[in-house]
Structure 1
Amino acid sequence: MRDIQILQDTLTNQCPTIHKKRLHSLLLATQSSLDGADLTLTKLGRSLDVRTTAKHAIKRVDRLLGNAQLHREKDEIYKWHANLIARANPCPVILVDWSDVREQLRYMTLRASIALDGRAVTLYEQAFEYAQYNSPKTHQRFLDKLDDILPLGATPIIVSDAGFRNTWFRQVEEKGWFWLGRVRGEVAIKLHRQDWQCNKVLYPKANAKPAYLGTCQLARRSPLACHAHLVKQASKGRKVQRHTRTSKKHTASRLFAKSANEPWLLVTNIPNDTLNAIQITRLYAKRMQIEEAFRDLKSPAYGLALRHNRTRCIKRLNILLLIALLAEVLMWWNGLIATKAKWQYDFQANTIKHR
């Protein structure tokens, strides 16, 4: 296809260290994924557009995923991609979150996505074993790599969910970057000229209008100076779509409902005179984009079906994530062209024109 050829020519020019044949095999696997193959070794191989047997095509993808040189060179593609989408914005909004990609073996991926209109586009992601999940050492490695691939002079705003705590915020701040997160659970907080109190004491004061609570100290044991904002999002009227029996047994429904019903206590190192409470709330609301992007990656019904992969090697998983990124880039480019030509209305199931 023409779009694959354009991408190959671009990467040949921008990433000259990657061998042309290795790059060609990588883009063949990307094309296989775009043609509908699940993001697994055998299905990518069986759908490969080559004049050979399925056995040899599968072996070709196997060699690609295990290629040690490509494992070292993949960051060059991430650098090119980051320069492409973040170069024009000196302060990009970057969404960071964890997600499991192998539910049985609990292999995890830590992803940084840049928030755009409607969907987050992956900037960089890396796979880890579950033992490395949410550890300060892993976070530091990831931030160092993210710092390396971002364009020079970029000062991003890192938006993360309630799973990231003070250690993470300090690591981001040491880079000279801005951070924004949510406080959940039971955390001690000390507002200006007030005593220490539990964060949940503030929840009854929340309403639909975002409020700036002032400067505060977060966590009694190792306090972090920051700015606090509080808002209670209006109910969106969503209903649980799980089967009644499944819903009763599945804890996820209750956890998601509790998270949605709690007010947002947002903390950040961005001064209030730079971004006010309304702007901070809108910024954090973009975080849902990365959850939608994870579905695009893992879902067999709505995405690339990475959930079906059975690899036990982190390095091979990283190459599958790279293939997913290149497929995402091509779909994004095609979407921009389609929107420019107003072709998107032909694919709608409704007649909405305002979005």
Structure 2
Amino acid sequence: VYQQRVSRLTHSLSVCVIAVDWSGYPSSEFSVLRASLLCDGRAIPLMSKVISSRYQNNSAVQNDFLDQMAAAIGKDKQVIIVTDAGFRSSWFHPLRSLGWDFVGRVRSSLYFQVAGDEEWQMARDIVSSTTVRYLGFGRLARNASRDCPGHVYTVHKRATGRKSSQHYPRTDRMYRKNARGPWLLFTSLMGYKPRGIVKTYSRRMQTEQNFRDEKSERYGLGLRASQSRGEKRISVLCLVAV
């Protein structure tokens, strides 16, 4: 069903910009791996896979998900995958093997090296400003099995000024801390202006809006109120929701 949906939604497109993300679904017991087509306004969900949360960020699950999506999209399109810092550096390797491009945020603890520099740097140590800066072509991760080439950009986004109601103080603090940190973006794209790279990554938030649309009891479909507890039942609800 999902492969038919992906094929129909992408068959007329020459370029597909797709955000891939994990989320608790509808609670922490299960997780969903979601691919959404980024467009004007809300993103359009393409594929979803609901599994036990203990398999979240599992490489085998992610690679199988990508293979299914690749079979549905075909080889005649440029595909750009957009991901946040929750994905490990090894995530980029299967994307390259599929011939796809990527734009991803690098987690603060990862090392990278710009071509021409002898030293490796940690993402958290980068000093950035509100002006997008191209650091150069480089490599991500010192581990040879995870080493990946790409272009490195950095920018520090201004705070939005939103005020939280502190329903989940510890979680809110964690997200605020991550949001305040500079963005270190890693991409395979060439020929793009720095602002274009940042704009492409910024659109990733559309998929977060989709998750809220489905889980919120007040503003969405209210999946949190569902009495279903089995993985298969949750998967069916996920399919109906999109």
* TM-score scaled by length of structure 2: 0.93
**Partner Cα separation in structure 1 for residue 125 and residue 4 of structure 2:** 47
Question: Does structure 1 residue 123 correspond to structure 2 residue 61?
Answer: no
Which of residues 141, 148, 159 in structure 1 aligns to 2:82?
Answer: 159
Q: Which amino acid aligns with 1:295?
A: R
CA contact (8 A) 1:188 1:220 kept: yes
Give the gaps of 5 or more residues in structure 1.
Answer: 1-74, 326-355
Give the gaps of 5 or more residues in structure 2.
Answer: none
Give how far 1:313 is off. 2.6
Q: Secondary structure at the match of 2:82?
A: strand
Q: Which amino acid aligns with 1:253?
A: D
Give how far 1:81 is off. 2.7
Which residue of the partner structure matches residue 348 of structure 1?
Answer: none
> Superposed, which structure 2 residues align to 1:98-177 within 5 Å?
98-103=22-27, 106-177=29-100
Which residue of the partner structure matches residue 179 of structure 1?
Answer: 102
**Partner Cα separation in structure 1 for residue 205 and residue 21 of structure 2:** 10
**Partner Cα separation in structure 2 for residue 89 and residue 102 of structure 1:** 31
Q: Identity across aligned pairs (percent)?
A: 33
Q: Secondary structure at the match of 2:12?
A: coil
Question: Does structure 1 residue 218 correspond to structure 2 residue 140?
Answer: yes
Question: Does structure 1 residue 253 correspond to structure 2 residue 175?
Answer: no
Specify which structure has the higher proportion of helix.
1
What is the CA deviation profile of residues 268-291 of structure 1, one whole-angstrom value per residue up to 9, with x for unaligned ones?
Answer: 1112x2x12110000000011000
Specify which structure has the higher proportion of strand.
2
Which residue of the partner structure matches residue 10 of structure 1?
Answer: none
**Partner Cα separation in structure 1 for residue 232 and residue 59 of structure 2:** 21
Which of residues 20, 34, 53 in structure 2 aligns to 1:96?
Answer: 20
CA contact (8 A) 1:212 1:276 kept: no
Which residue of the partner structure matches residue 121 of structure 2?
Answer: 197
**Partner Cα separation in structure 1 for residue 4 and residue 26 of structure 2:** 28
Which residue of the partner structure matches residue 265 of structure 1?
Answer: 184
Q: Which amino acid aligns with 2:220?
A: G
Which residue of the partner structure matches residue 313 of structure 1?
Answer: 230
Give how far 1:85 is off. 2.6
CA contact (8 A) 2:3 2:69 kept: no
CA RMSD of aligned residues (A): 1.6
Q: Secondary structure at the match of 1:92?
A: strand
Q: Computing the radius of gyration over CA atoms, which structure comes out larger, 1 or 2?
A: 1
* TM-score scaled by length of structure 1: 0.64
Structure 1 stretches of at least 4 aligned residues deviating more than 6 Å after TM superposition: none
Give how far 1:89 is off. 1.7
Q: 1:228 to 1:86 in 2, by over 3 A?
A: same
Please identify, of 131-140 and 310-319, the stretch whose mean Cα deviation from structure 2 is larger.
310-319
